[in-house]
Structure 1
Amino acid sequence: MPPKILLADDHSMIRKGIKILCEHNLGYKGVEEVTNCNELMRSLARTKFTHLILDINLSDGNSLEILPNIRNLYPELKIIILSMQPAEIYTRAMRRLGISQYIAKSAPEEETILLLRQFLNGDHSARRKKDAGLANPFDGFTTRELQVLHYLLKGMGSVAIGKALNIKWNTVSTMKKSIYSKTNTENILQLKELASLFGVN
């Protein structure tokens, strides 16, 4: 029986690209699409899907917040995560959520096709070997970096963080650069996504 695929992503170009790869390159027709968490839950309740291709950041919220509920309601549903982050950064975090496969949105087309084929065919062996031994990128943070990170995730700027911690704003700016470097992130959206995956706040 062919897989029944649901694609959840709020970017139309990403949905179009993934759908083309599934339907034309891999031959899996009838991929259904949703753009937000509410649509996702309604679609899962209405149709028995076998596979879910899930973006972390949807238009009405972070899908990680509803993932435990999805796991509880649909334990047989196979899930692969889409992310802006390189896959190597958050392997262990995904495993804690019961996810064994993921696709970085920056991955080359050939790699994306390979990962989708493995996901839809049930072959996880290649990814498991690659994932062995990867660490939490926040483990090496200093106490001060964790403090700055906490306020960054709240949406505060360098000046406000400096006042809250009683340090100079340019010191905060230096620590922000260190935080982005250590986590291999480029902006606050990527940093928030990564922090959510590892339960850091």
Structure 2
Amino acid sequence: MIRVVLVDDHAIIRDGVRSLLQDEADLTVVGEAGNGLELLELLAHTSADVVLMDMNMPEMNGFETTRRLQQSYPNVRVVVLSMLDHEQYVRQMREAGAAGYVLKSAGRDEIVYAIRTVAAGRQHLCPEIGLTLLDKLRALHNTSDHNPEGKPPGLLSRRETEVLKLIAEGLTTNEIADRLFTSKRTIETHRQNIIEKTQVKNTAALVKYAVTQGLIS
């Protein structure tokens, strides 16, 4: 039996999801919470396998909650259920430790499949977001084909480009981590990836690269 906790600050959403899951013989909803703090309090006395959680919540949002779960309850798997479909949010939640990401426009079958998939130790990304990311990768590939001699900005991921801009603005690693709601180690990884991709060796060269690519003025 897969034990599920529903986390959303709207009770009507939790009621709807509970209703969708009630006929699944291998799933049982063992609790509900309106935000991350309530979830952590609930898990102190309630065992769960999967948390189905919104991102935008009061008190403690989904991003911070997922980070806290990784620290205190690493065996609890997180599936994000959100209206936010931008790749930045998907990346942030996956970096925080979420195993699945599903849009609230998804049907019952997809939500159930996502829960079962992450409970089995695998990852799940809803097809709609996956196709969007695939289209962007295809566009990036086409851009590279038309610029075989240069280093187009597309060499860097969106998050790497954001980090490069903030480096160029003079922010420290800690300041960048705070600005992007991620860890210092993640920013250091992005910085190393930027250096490897751009083949520049210091901050001054990074700033020059950002200017020549039109990322900053």
TM-score (norm: length of structure 2):
0.54
Closer, same or farther: CA 26–196 of 1 in aligned 2, 3 Å:
farther
Q: Secondary structure at the match of 2:2?
A: coil
Give how far 1:74 is off: 0.8
Could you list the per-position Cα deviations for residues 124-160 of structure 1 after superposition, in whole angstroms to 9, with x for gaps in the alignment? 37769x477975378379x7xxx9xxxxxxxxxxxxx
Q: Indicate the residue corresponding to 1:136 in structure 2.
A: 158
Q: Secondary structure at the match of 1:69?
A: helix
Could you list the per-position Cα deviations for residues 23-46 of structure 1 after superposition, in whole angstroms to 9, with x for gaps in the alignment? 224652344111122211110111
Q: Indicate the residue corresponding to 2:57 in structure 1.
A: 58
Point out where structure 1 has 5 or more consecutive residues left out of the alignment. Answer: 148-194
2:63 and 2:92 in contact (8 A); partners too: no
Give how far 1:77 is off: 0.9
1:87 and 1:102 in contact (8 A); partners too: no
Q: Secondary structure at the match of 1:49?
A: coil
Structure having greater relative contact order (Cα 8 Å, sep ≥ 6): 1
| Structure with larger Rg | 2
Identity of aligned residues (%): 27
| CA distance in 1: counterparts of 2:104 and 2:88, whole angstroms | 14
Q: Indicate the residue corresponding to 1:11 in structure 2.
A: 10
Closer, same or farther: CA 84–126 of 1 in aligned 2, 3 Å:
closer
1:6 and 1:31 in contact (8 A); partners too: yes
Identify which range, 7-16 or 132-141, moves more after superposition. 132-141
Q: Indicate the residue corresponding to 2:175 in structure 1.
A: none
Closer, same or farther: CA 58–127 of 1 in aligned 2, 3 Å:
closer
Aligned length: 150
| CA distance in 2: counterparts of 1:65 and 1:92, whole angstroms | 14
Give how far 1:114 is off: 3.1
Point out where structure 2 has 5 or more consecutive residues left out of the alignment. Answer: 138-156, 170-179, 187-217
Give how far 1:18 is off: 1.6
Q: Secondary structure at the match of 1:103?
A: strand
| CA distance in 1: counterparts of 2:161 and 2:25, whole angstroms | 39
Q: Residue 158 of structure 2 aligns to which amino acid in structure 1?
A: N
Closer, same or farther: CA 21–137 of 1 in aligned 2, 3 Å:
farther
Q: Indicate the residue corresponding to 2:99 in structure 1.
A: 100
Give how far 1:121 is off: 4.3
| CA distance in 2: counterparts of 1:16 and 1:197, whole angstroms | 32
Could you list the per-position Cα deviations for residues 71-128 of structure 1 after superposition, in whole angstroms to 9, with x for gaps in the alignment? 1111111111122112655433223112231111123444334323423444437769
Identify which range, 103-112 or 15-24, moves more after superposition. 103-112
| CA distance in 2: counterparts of 1:125 and 1:35, whole angstroms | 24
Closer, same or farther: CA 126–90 of 1 in aligned 2, 3 Å:
closer
* Cα RMSD for the two superposed structures: 3.9
Give how far 1:54 is off: 1.5
Whether 2:57 is the aligned partner of 1:35: answer no
Closer, same or farther: CA 63–94 of 1 in aligned 2, 3 Å:
closer
TM-score (norm: length of structure 1):
0.57
Q: Indicate the residue corresponding to 1:116 in structure 2.
A: 115
Q: Residue 80 of structure 1 aligns to which amino acid in structure 2?
A: V
